[in-house]
């Protein structure tokens, strides 16, 4: 019984991780910044590999978590 339960959990976990990319909510966990240019790209706007390159200078951008302007910190 415990083995079946474990397998089921694994299957659910893999299914959830597979579906996660399809979720299109706009909940941003932070943004990518280029300190030199002041460029900012929200993490939800990044397509493909992260971190993205700065559109202005091409340097790798730095991720900065949202400081809780929306929602609570807990
Ligand atoms: Zn830049």
Closest-CA residue to 26 (of 41, 49, 42, 40)? 42
**Structural domain includes residue 53:** yes
Here the tokens at position 15 are 């299914």
pLDDT computed for residue 60 by the predictor = 96
Q: Find tokens 């932070």 and name the residue.
A: 30
- One digit per residue, pLDDT tens: the chain, 74 residues? 677 777 777 767 665 555 555 555 568 889 999 999 999 999 999 988 889 999 999 999 999 998 755 556 56
Is 9 a member of any domain? no
41 CA to centre of ligand 1 in angstroms: 11
Ion ligand 1 nearby residues (CB, 5 A):
34, 36-37, 54, 56-57
Q: Which residues sit opposite 49 in a β-bridge?
A: none
Q: What angle do CA 19, 25, 30 make, to 5 degrees?
A: 105
Tell me, what's the pLDDT at 12? 73
Q: How many domains does the chain have?
A: 1
Structure tokens at 69: 């302007």
Q: Is residue 54 part of a domain?
A: yes
Site of tokens 């900012």? 40
The answer as to whether 3 is a domain residue is no
Domain that holds residue 60: 29-66
Beta bridge partners of 63: 32
The predicted pLDDT at position 9 comes to 76
Q: How far apart are the CA of 73 and the centre of ligand 1, in A?
A: 29
Q: How far is the CA of 3 from the centre of ligand 1 (A)?
A: 52
């Amino acid at each position: 019984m415990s083995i079946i339960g474990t397998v089921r959990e694994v299957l659910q976990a893999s299914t959830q991780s597979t579906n996660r990319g399809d979720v299109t909510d706009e909940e941003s966990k932070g943004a990518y910044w280029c300190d030199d240019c002041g460029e900012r790209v929200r993490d939800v706007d990044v397509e493909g590999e992260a971190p993205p390159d700065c559109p202005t200078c091409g340097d790798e951008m730095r991720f900065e978590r949202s400081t809780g302007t929306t929602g609570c910190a807990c």
